[in-house]
Amino acid sequence: MSQFDRSAGTDASADRDGDRDGPAALRTESRVLPAEVFATLGNDTRVAVLRALLELGADEAPVSFTDLFDRVDIDDSANFSYHLRQLTGHFIRRSDEGYEFRSPGRKVVSAIFTGTLTERAQLGFFPADGACYDCGGDLHGWYVDDDLSVGCVDCGAVQVSYPFPSGGLDDRTTDELLQAFHHYVRHHYCLAADGVCPECTGSIDTTLVRDPDDEALDVAVEHVCRRCSYRLRSTIGVTLLDHAETLVFHSDRGVDLNTAPFWQFDWCVSDRLTTVVSEDPLRVRVTLPCAGDELRVLIDDTCAVTETTLVE
């Protein structure tokens, strides 16, 4: 399990039967709001219809109602017709010959099923700079199932694993990819630490969590979005990556935290350098070593820095 955890707390499976019985066929692409799009698609049968259209060759020729109904796992033809109607207009087109995709429907299918119908982007193992926080071994990166990870091939410790859109792999060498990944993850965590949800820009509540479940950490930072319930968990250290004194302390010693991959720093990927100094209220100290000196950062239960001490 990585120290970095990211999950959406929203449940997109809500069915909106009953309030969408209106003039679906009259809606145009431009009039359909994103929320409506997701509400329309937040139903297994409708997604199954789109998938069946693809599998039955709707890209080439319209598919008949009977063929579609046979293909989708549903017994009630009236219920099936209802779901089909919800998709007709914006996502699919109905003609005398049958059903075929409209462009938004085809795009949805591509987005949803690329992973199962075509080869997923994968990349592994390529060398990454830095040493394992646990055993000092060499680091490697790999990309599987939309997650980019950097970990140790000797002991298996994962320094970081975080979702990274596969388009970010295009036209980049593995070194460039790691650099982009560093910026992307660092900004996500720092944005959350600054109170802005990286997913929806809503307000984030940040707290320290003692002994988090399923984590290798004794203390972690948890960010939860009030608006979309997006949840991010990380080490405390990673939230210090844009803290002014932390940046200056490192740059005075020749280390640029903006560009140096954060997973090279023990204090970012483990809690070995994190000490609990008070349980109630929870207060922790993170010790940042650099070039023989130390910056000791005291943090309160909201993850705010309350005091820093330089030890030379």
Q: How far is it, in rounded angstroms, from Cα 306 to Cα 243? A: 12
243 Cβ neighbours under 8 A, 6+ residues apart: 297, 305
CB 229, min distance to Zn ion, A: 7
Q: How far is it, in rounded angstroms, from Cα 288 to Cα 298? A: 11
CB 310, min distance to Zn ion, A: 30
What binding mask, one character per residue, do residues 208-227 give for Zn ion by CB under 5 A, x or -? -----------------x-x
Residues 183-202 that bind Zn ion (CB under 5 A): 197, 199-200, 202
157, 158, 177, 303: which one contacts Zn ion (CB under 5 A)?
A: 157
- The closest alpha carbon to 178, from 285, 186, 242, belongs to 186
State how far the alpha carbon of 149 is from the alpha carbons of 78, 154, 263, 303, in Å: 47, 15, 10, 25
Per rule CB under 5 A, is residue 132 in the interface with Zn ion? yes
SS3 265: coil
5, 134, 215, 222: which one contacts Zn ion (CB under 5 A)?
A: 134
Q: Are 307 and 268 in contact (CB under 8 A)?
A: no
Q: Choose one: 104-112, 144-152, 175-183, 240-248; the region binding Zn ion (CB under 5 A).
A: 144-152
Name which of 57 and 124 has its Cβ closer to Zn ion: 124
Per rule CB under 5 A, is residue 92 in the interface with Zn ion? no
10 Å Cβ neighbour count for 7?
11
Q: Choose one: 109-117, 127-135, 237-245, 280-288; the region binding Zn ion (CB under 5 A).
A: 127-135
The per-type count for the chain, helices as H runs and strands as E runs, is: 8, 14
**Structure tokens given for 38:** 């997701």
CB 10, min distance to Zn ion, A: 9
CB 197, min distance to Zn ion, A: 3
Q: Choose one: 64-72, 118-126, 230-238, 304-312; the region binding Zn ion (CB under 5 A).
A: 230-238
CB 136, min distance to Zn ion, A: 7
Dihedral angle over CA of 199, 147, 189, 244, nearest 10: -140
Name which of 45 and 159 has its Cβ closer to Zn ion: 159
State how far the alpha carbon of 277 is from the alpha carbons of 9, 212, 221, 238, 274, in Å: 32, 17, 16, 19, 9
Name which of 108 and 152 has its Cβ closer to Zn ion: 152
Name which of 46 and 223 has its Cβ closer to Zn ion: 223
Q: Choose one: 92-100, 120-128, 129-137, 262-270; the region binding Zn ion (CB under 5 A).
A: 129-137
SS3 215: coil
Per rule CB under 5 A, is residue 240 in the interface with Zn ion? no
Residue ranges binding Zn ion (CB under 5 A): 132, 134-135, 137, 152, 154-155, 157, 197, 199-200, 202, 225, 227-228, 230
